[in-house]
Amino acid sequence: MTVLVTGASGFVGGAVVARLHANGTSVRTASRAPLDLVPGIEQLRVGDLAASTDWGTALRGVDAVVHAAARVHVMHDVAADPLAEFRRVNVAGTVRLAREAARAGVKRFVFVSSIKVSGEGTRPGRPFRADDEPDPVDPYGVSKREAEDELRLVARETGLEVAIVRPVLVYGPGVKGNFHSMMRWLHRGVPLPLGAVHNRRSLVALDNLVDLLVTTLVHPAAANRTFLVSDGEDLSTTELLRRTATALGTRARLLPVPAPLLQGAARVAGRRAVADRLCGNLQVDITPTRELLGWTPSVAIDTALERAARHFLGQQPR
């Protein structure tokens, strides 16, 4: 079996390549620039992900595709028309790859989508399910939903088997963005006003996400299905900070500021979205994922946090 992985320079795509190669699977990557990969992984250069990308050589002899490349969500987008830019890459580029894959005889196409297709938050006791009506809010989420819809159309028209996976927040060794910032604050002992937040949020360790993506490559029940994925244990922001601090070998300095007060102050400061992520709920129900695929998260949260913390600490100046 030969698998083409896009986005191999990224956090998720790179981990998928490593797992497949370790399993003895023939792996090919397609990227804009050369990658620092272990010997034995075939690398091909392609242009930007767009409606005109030539995938002919990259898809020759390929049995399955893991499509992890995307224009990713950014906090401060400088594009004049962000939605148009997201559509150009995440929709048009994805559809081009899928149709070319179908023409090349590829059997399975695994698409790394986003929980933002489902929405930005959940009500208490009402986690997102894969069959809920999508409710994306920002341009990134809208583009991922449109890409999902187009992929289902390609599947109906061509017979290409499409498996869609919507991850929640992904963390693990080498994580960037807000999770990295959180570890840095905890490591430095910065006091944080997050000691009384009683929300519930789903997370997914990189190892667990990769395990599910590899499972969907071959499992018969994954064809033309959408899957939500998490670690199977939801945490409050306060719990996450405390358990991450423990993994870092320190103690979280958390001030017990009530969540409503935090949210009110954030609205006044124009940072409502940040407060919503810190104080709001976002849970997913992975029961269908477990039952359809016979899959379960293999790495516990504390183990995954320790792996992320070990990598973080190894990158700190001595």
The DSSP code sequence of 18-81 is HHHHHTT-EEEEEESS-----TT-EEEE---SSTT---HHHHTT-SEEEE-------SS---SS
Residue 128: inside a domain: yes
Q: Can you give the CATH number for the domain in which 141 is found? A: 3.40.50.720
Residue 275: inside a domain: no
pLDDT digits (tens, 9 = 90+) for 99-141: 999 999 999 999 999 999 999 999 988 999 999 999 999 999 9
What pLDDT is stored for residue 75 in this prediction? 54
Q: Is the pLDDT of residue 89 over 80?
A: yes
**What is the extent of the structural domain holding 11?**
2-171+204-232+285-298
Q: Is the pLDDT of residue 242 over 70?
A: yes
User: Does residue 123 sit in helix, strand or coil?
Assistant: strand
Number of domains in the chain: 1
Residue 17: inside a domain: yes
Give the residue-averaged pLDDT of 35-45: 84
Query: Can you tell me the distance from the alpha carbon of 15 to that of 202, in angstroms, rounded to the nearest whole number?
Result: 20
pLDDT digits (tens, 9 = 90+) for 273-305: 777 888 999 999 999 999 999 999 999 999 999
Other Cβ atoms closer than 10 A to 93:
24
pLDDT digits (tens, 9 = 90+) for 49-77: 999 999 999 999 999 999 999 998 665 56
Residue-by-residue DSSP string for 273-293? HHHHHHHS-B-B--HHHHHHH
Residues acting as catalytic residues? 140
